[in-house]
Structure 1
Amino acid sequence: MRSAPDLLYEIRGLIAAHARPDLQTSIGGLLLSKVETEEPDYSLTEPLLVVMAQGGKRLLLGDEVFEYRAGQCLVVTADLPVTGHFLDATPQVPSLALGLVLRPAAIAPLLLEAPAGRWSRSTAGPPAIATGEAGPDLLDALARMLRLLDHPTDAPVLAPLIEREILWRLLTGPHGGMIRQIGLADSGLSHISRAIRWIRANYAEPMRIEDLARLAGMSSSAFHRHFRAVTTMSPLQFQKRIRLQEARSLLVARPHDVAGVGHLVGYDSPSQFNREYRRLFGAPPGHDAARLRADSHPHVIRHLP
């Protein structure tokens, strides 16, 4: 098998050739990112494997900091609001990364292929995010997946097979315990994920811990404990972060209606909205919106976490 540096060299070239501003590729679930600035970004993740091929990124989730660089991977197992800072990214040497959506339906069948004792549990605990090395076996499978972008007639047949291999490498690697939780319908992660999805869909609505706990099938105290373990935040802090990130997206189209946007995302107090927005994004809503609109295509550009 080729060495990790050789595989990363090929992966960098394929990402640079195929990356688009919206991250999407012709292969479902395969995302590519090319970033030329170290500006911070704020995103709502989904369960993902991300491998950095060039540059690096530092993520903030609540009070926890995660960093990964070229040749390393990030595993996210829940929908999470994160703040990211790219490292060493310039127009001449951009940050290059690939992502693969981690689908429960693709992971679940693999759980039946080996005894439960086979799965690594070293990182099965909270939070629902971790970093580590991307070994040669994983990089080799990812390189073959990327090559299919140049062979579109082969992709519908071969991409699902390579995805299965990638997931198997993850399941039998150091992050296996985390990945396993995605595929189990009755795992603690799946129960908390139901509450996370409710908050994301109803972020502007009043929230009762008792109702979320019932949705997750837990007592209120157990729910609060498990929610913080997965997200590193309390449910209220999580909802606030979702509200503010949604407000930022809305302000791109409505920069002169700060109070209206604040109300739309659930804030009854304009002063509280302005204060909390500035604390997260570093500028008042109106000023931040003006800066975003001055960027090239703020409504199109997306980033991998």
Structure 2
Amino acid sequence: MKNEGQSITRIIGLLRDKLTQLAPEPGKIPTAIEGVYIYRMDNDVRMDCFNDPCIGVLVQGDKRAIVADEEYRFKEGWYIAYGMDLPAISHITGASPKKPHLAMSIPLDRYIMSQLVTGVEKRPPPGNGASYKGLTAAKAGSELLDACLRLISLLDTPERIPVLAPMIIREIHYFLLIGPEGEDFRLLGTHETPNNQIAQAISWMRENYCSPFNLTELSRLVNMSQASLSRHFSRITGMSPLRFQKRLRLYEAQRLMLTEDKSAETAAFAVGYESSTQFNREYKRQFGEPPHRDIERLLVTGAVLGEEMV
């Protein structure tokens, strides 16, 4: 255990140096590796956004997140894995220009998980996942951290990225599957388990949020009864499917107003609302202010909507 701890400390130090070099300014920084981002924040910040499925590794700083009414706390050397698209309220604390919040993220791919599950089938079979909330957080082991270091180091040799990056990303998924929290990922990667089916349902809803909500159709698509879908959906997300769709629409409308300069009325109709009055009422209930005031505030603070800082 002593050698493991020393190895983790060494790798985190190397990752910190690497991310500091690659992220000289605050923000979410895309890399030449598709879907891999570097994050730096020099000040404390609160974010209210939807998260794409991803694996985030915290290299420096502290963070807490509220998902499905449960609070999670993370610190240096931890990983966060969002197994499905989920809304979260996140707080980055203790960040400063001298000691910025530093992290990196890798896309979490359920298809890769499903391919790898057979390789860990000798482990205890997954349970029912009754405690899973769509988010997994734990201390990262040296093997996982080393794979992250090797992945981000590929940016020094971009000609190797097309061949080696997919292999290392697959390796990172494998270490999650065999780690202490591996059951969460085995459930995500195993077809016909409730967690996998809810992840499918959420992915479909994210792509079809403008369409009128139809629980019967959604249940059929993921091969669950309506009662089972509603029960497991509420367990994981903390809300009903219908409320989840409303949340999706509001976030997308917020994004349209902020990044595409759409009016509140145009954004409302674009995301599926038939009444601007209803949209304004639900928007204020979700974000605390009417649309125009909220967007003015976000523009002043320089916020970037839908951009999770892991």
Aligned equivalent of 1:201: 207
CA, structure 1 residues 127+296, in 2 after alignment: closer, same or farther (shift >3 Å)? Answer: closer
Alpha-carbon distance in structure 2 between the residues aligned to 1:209 and 1:296: 38
TM-score normalized by structure 1?
0.88
Contact 1:123-1:175 at 8 Å conserved across structures: no
Q: Does 1:7 align with 2:11?
A: yes
1:141 aligns with 2:160: no
Look up the equivalent residue of 2:19 and give its one-letter code: I
Paired residue type of 2:154:
L
Given the superposition, is the C-alpha separation of residues 188 and 31 from structure 1 closer, same or farther in structure 2, using an over 3 Å criterion? same
Could you list the per-position Cα deviations for residues 5-64 of structure 1 after superposition, in whole angstroms to 9, with x for gaps in the alignment? 221121112122224845421123322111223232233222221111111222222312
Can you list the C-alpha shifts for 1:182-217, whole angstroms capped at 9, x where unaligned?
333333233223321232222233212222112221
* Equivalent residue for 2:270, pick from 249, 264, 267: 264
Report the residue type matching 1:243 in the other structure.
Answer: R
> Per-residue displacement from partner, 1:210-248 (whole Å, max 9, x unpaired)?
221122211111110111122222112211211111111
Is 1:123–1:174's contact at 8 Å kept on the other side of the alignment? no
Q: Does 2:37 match 1:31?
A: yes
- Pairing 1:170-189 to 2, within 5 Å after superposition: 170-189=176-195
Q: Distance in 2 between matches of 1:150 and 1:205?
A: 44
2:228 to 222, 228, 231: 222
Superposed, 1:1-305 pairs within 5 Å as: 2-19=6-23, 21-117=27-123, 125-253=131-259, 257-296=263-302, 298=304, 302-305=307-310
Q: Normalising to structure 2: TM-score of the pair?
A: 0.86
Extract unaligned runs of 5+ from structure 1.
none
Out of 224-233 and 274-283, give the one that drifted further.
274-283
Structure 2 spans left out of the alignment, 5+ residues: none
SS at match of 2:56: strand
Query: Which region of structure 1 is more displaced relative to structure 2, 249-258 or 214-223?
Result: 249-258
CA contact (8 A) 1:107 1:180 kept: yes
- Residues 15 and 32, structure 1, Cα contact 8 Å, conserved in 2: yes
Change in Cα spacing, 1:262 to 1:156, as seen in structure 2 (3 Å) is: closer
What CA RMSD, in Å, does the superposition of the two structures yield over aligned residues? 2.7
Change in 2 beyond 3 A, CA 1:23/1:238? farther
Distance between the aligned counterparts of 1:141 and 1:123, measured in 2?
Answer: 27
Q: Secondary structure at the match of 1:162?
A: helix
